[in-house]
Amino acid sequence: MLLYGITGMIWKSNDRSEIEHQYMPAQPLDSQVAQLLDLIARAKRPAIHTMDPVDAKIAYEKSAPILDLSPAPVHGVEDFQVTARDGHAIPVRLYSPREASWADPLPLLVYFHGGGFTVGSVNSHDSLCRMFCNGAECLVLSVDYRLGPEWKFPVAANDAFDVLHWVFEEAARIGADATRIALGGDSAGGTLAAACAVEARDHGLAPVLQMLIYPGTCARQDTPSHRALAEGYLLTAEMIQWFFSQYLDVDASRDDWRFAPLDGGGEGADVRGCCPAWIAVAGYDPLHDEGVAYAAKLEAAGVVASLTDYPSMIHDFFKLGRFIGAVAGAHADATAALRRAFGI
């Protein structure tokens, strides 16, 4: 049985009885992260989970460009729509590093933004998608899937699946190489990317990578890192539960593998035969342990899974590059994983 050793805790794949009840990050908090957290605390802005959902969405959109890197220029950006199974027009944004055509197709990353299934958009993650486009020399299709509380589970997952199928069917039309399609996302978007990897396997589709950036994978948020990091590190326990209260139709949906691919319903998703994974976790992130455990689950099922731990970082750090110098290294790691998967 696969064993992952982490400072202060041990998680044995598929055996929660083996979890020790202490968690301690392997390194001190990054000094620039600590300064940023102090600035946020001093600003005394209302926490997202204390707001009306409409105001929370606005606040997140306004804060994202303040903390993130300035958007880098790319060759082209196109906004259009993909039709969902219920007729809804799902907005998507396609970034291109150069001209692509059926004769000279480019690899493609399908990207799902984070935000607890409640906030976030293609706009909030614009800078990140531009970075992936340039760094991995690939097309990036950013997906504006539907959010709670207006749209409840499993609408976001269905939107993600519908875009997945559309991409493989229409790859040539957008200049993408159907043999080099990757799935990616951060936080809740990582959940969707992981679920899409299972959906792809079930329908004979073959993405080359699932790039999961601090993904949510567990049903109950009861891991040692969730307990130890419930307050003080940007993403809090109250915030997480507020997000899920906006998104979930009923609490029993926590046991659906599309919400919790690690352990929904006890076993989670059957991940045998899924595409390889690159998973990033942060040491001061409540979601740390579930990312580690998902890598273990994949490897136990025979899936190649590369786990990269950033022990001094917090949740959402991929989007904090304006203030945190170490983010550049994580961006380079992610784009290198994409390039390897694309054979570049």
- What is the per-residue pLDDT for 205? 98
Neighbours of 117 (CB within 10 A): 29
Q: Which of 96, 187, 225, 312 is catalytic?
A: 187
Split at pLDDT 50, 70, 90, the class of 3 is very low
Name the token pair of 34. Answer: 């600590």
- What is the per-residue pLDDT for 52? 96
Helix (H, G, I), strand (E, B) or coil at 103: coil
- The count of structural domains within the chain is 1
Comparison of pLDDT for 1 and 163, the residue scoring more: 163
Tell me if 228 is assigned to some domain.
yes
For the ranges 17-26, 126-135, 217-226, which has the lowest average pLDDT? 17-26
CATH number of the CATH domain containing 159: 3.40.50.1820
Split at pLDDT 50, 70, 90, the class of 112 is very high
Helix (H, G, I), strand (E, B) or coil at 36: helix
Q: Which of 49, 226, 288, 315 is catalytic?
A: 315
Tell me if 38 is assigned to some domain.
yes
Tell me if 50 is assigned to some domain.
yes
Mean pLDDT of 133-150: 98
- Contact of 323 with 30, CB cutoff 8 Å: no
Q: How far apart are CA 137 and CA 275, in angstroms?
A: 21
Name the token pair of 258. Answer: 């599309």
pLDDT reading at 199 higher than 50: yes
pLDDT reading at 18 higher than 80: no
Whether 86 sits among the annotated catalytic residues: the reply is no
Mention every residue, 6+ apart, whose C-beta is less than 8 A from residue 327.
69, 317, 318, 320, 321
Whether 187 sits among the annotated catalytic residues: the reply is yes
- What is the per-residue pLDDT for 127? 98
Range of the domain at 160: 26-342
Tell me if 12 is assigned to some domain.
no
pLDDT tens per residue, range 35-66: 999 999 999 889 999 999 999 999 999 999 99
- What is the per-residue pLDDT for 21? 59
Tell me if 295 is assigned to some domain.
yes
pLDDT tens per residue, range 262-313: 999 999 999 999 999 999 999 999 999 999 999 999 999 999 999 999 999 9
Whether 289 sits among the annotated catalytic residues: the reply is no
Phi, psi of 311 (to 5 degrees): -70, -20
Tell me if 20 is assigned to some domain.
no
Q: Which of 285, 289, 309, 316 is catalytic?
A: 285
Q: How far apart are CA 313 and CA 285, in angstroms?
A: 7
- Contact of 72 with 130, CB cutoff 8 Å: yes
Tell me if 230 is assigned to some domain.
yes
